[in-house]
Chains A and B, each alone.
Chain A
Amino acid sequence: MPLPLYRTISEPKCVEGNAGLWYDKFCDMWNDDFNSLGDNGKKEWIRTVVRNVGDEALLREIKERVISLISNSGGKAMLFRTTAPFVTGLGRSHPVENGFAWHHTLGVPYLPGSSVKGIVRAWARLWRNLDNGEIRRIFGPDGAGSVGSVIFLDAMPVRPVELKAEIMTPHYGPYYRGDKPPEGWPADWHSPVPIPFLAVAEGQEFLFGVIPRKEATQDCEKVIGWLKEALQEIGAGAKTAVGYGRFACIEAETPEEAAPEPMTPGREWLEKLAEEMGKSVEEIFKTDHKMLFDSWNKIENAELKRAVFQEIKRTYQTKGWWDNPLTNNMKKTLSKYKEYETKEIEG
């Protein structure tokens, strides 16, 4: 299928690297006349990035840097997990119509600081009915010209992000487009049009942060509280009216707690296993869960076995898979852990 680009020596392939660059610039689902992606082109192009995107080591490094920036400037950080699909950057132009906000250098979805600020300001103003003076002090006066007391950082994922394809199906295209009646009436003689678009899956973690401009540490605390409420209640990104973009707070990361996680014996065991297999711990949990179970089951030292179990459970819980396994197979594996838990730990 044709790619609207100059002649290249070899077919461009997306193996590793920046998924955003790939998604935005290399769409080759066009028909020969370059005037349509065809019936399946959009869906298929979206499918090329429906997977985990982002480099684990790079994202970890960014997380550490952001957290040290926040702690050195007396700000507040908070880790959130998506509880619904999340879309950002729908309005950007893209061959499949709806764009996506990719972080330029990291190739992962992110929420710009300006969006975060907008959400919190709207929450404070419209839902909390706060005093106007306070809102102006924190967010800056209406219109341009002056700054507020709190700086909002981009919300960044802290590990590779799972993406998924979603579909919206407007039934009244001509009405939304503002066509003149009678064609523009929102009536049921119009046909529904399924439009595929790219979204962040549920259960993905993002780090939000605010830092004080001068010494507004107290304002930061207020803001992070509002942020927590706003992300839960009104959501972020697009399509929040139909439930998209909701986040639940996982933990308030005060800088001390956020220092690199201490190595527990359980964690150590897992990383060693991953290294032996030449995979990331991440992958093992997702695809090699049966092998993980078997290796764990073979541990003879009861104390270590228990420690590793705690670590495994914690990881599954962070991912949200402990209660909602991804596949039936994973469910089976998890039920064996749960058996062990009732027998050995609770019983």
Chain B
Amino acid sequence: MSERSLEQERAKHALEAVNSIRGKSWAGKFRSYVERLPPAIVMNGLGQAMAGELAAAGRAEEMSDDKKAHNKLYELVAGWIRTRRIYSAEENLMKAIVDGDQKQYVLAQAEALAYLEWLKKFSQAFLEKDKEA
């Protein structure tokens, strides 16, 4: 077997994530937030959009379903960007973004969008639609 292509890596990461979310009470919300994130990135930029997810996730205490879904989405995208090693020694995505340069930012944004393609595809395939949305 040859090595997996980058596109396969993205798909693998996304599929594992979606499998771990299946059956959770906030799966539907997660699905709709995944659908909304790519346009937010295109409109507001990666930094603004990810800060928006953080703001929606709120503080760690008293996590409602809503907040859990936002938090998970933030963690997944940040995790994937970390895997891609765009920023050196990155522990916090937001800090990495403001410390990084323009080239890294453009790359990170493109990576996030490419990854979200898969996350969205698998969410739509395996997670139930949110009843209210």
Contact = CB atoms under 8 A, between A and B. Distances in A.
B116 interface: no
Contacts of B9: none
Interface stretch (B14-22, B94-102, B118-126): B94-102
Range, interface on chain A: 20 to 34
Contact of A6 (B44, B48, B49, B104): B104
Given A36-B55, A93-B44, A99-B43, A4 B50 contact: yes
A25 B98 CA distance: 14
A5 B101 CA distance: 9
Contacts of A2: 98
Contact of A25 (B48, B52, B59, B100): B48
Interface string B97-118: 1111110110000000000000
B132 A4 contact: no
Contacts of B99: 7
A5 B45 contact: yes
B18 to A, nearest CB: 22
A25 B102 CA distance: 14
A230 interface: no
Contacts, number: 76
Contacts of B66: 177
A178 interface: yes
Contacts of A6: 97-98, 100-102, 104-105
B106 to A, nearest CB: 8
Interface stretch (A27-35, A74-82, A125-133, A330-338): A27-35
A94 interface: yes
A37 B97 contact: no
B55 A4 contact: no
Interface in A223-279: none
B54 interface: yes
Contact of A4 (B39, B47, B102): B47
A61 B101 CA distance: 38
Interface string A5-36: 11110000000000000001101001001111
Given A6-B104, A35-B54, A99-B43, A27 B98 contact: no
A343 interface: no
A153 to B, nearest CB: 23
A94 B39 CA distance: 11
B45 to A, nearest CB: 5
A190 B16 CA distance: 40
Contacts of A95: 44, 48, 51-52, 55
Contact of B49 (A7, A35, A93): A93
B36 interface: yes
A24 B47 CA distance: 11
Contacts of B54: 33-35
A37 B55 contact: yes
A92 B43 contact: yes
A34 B36 CA distance: 19
Interface in A75-108: 92-95, 99
A24 B45 CA distance: 8
Contacts of A7: 98-102
Nearest to A8: B102
B43 A5 contact: no
B57 to A, nearest CB: 7
B5 to A, nearest CB: 28
Contacts of B100: 6-7
Most buried by A among B44, B66, B99, B104: B44
The 7 closest A-B pairs by CB, nearest first: A4-B47, A93-B40, A6-B105, A34-B51, A35-B54, A34-B94, A6-B102
Interface of A: 2-8, 24-25, 27, 30, 33-37, 92-95, 99, 177-178
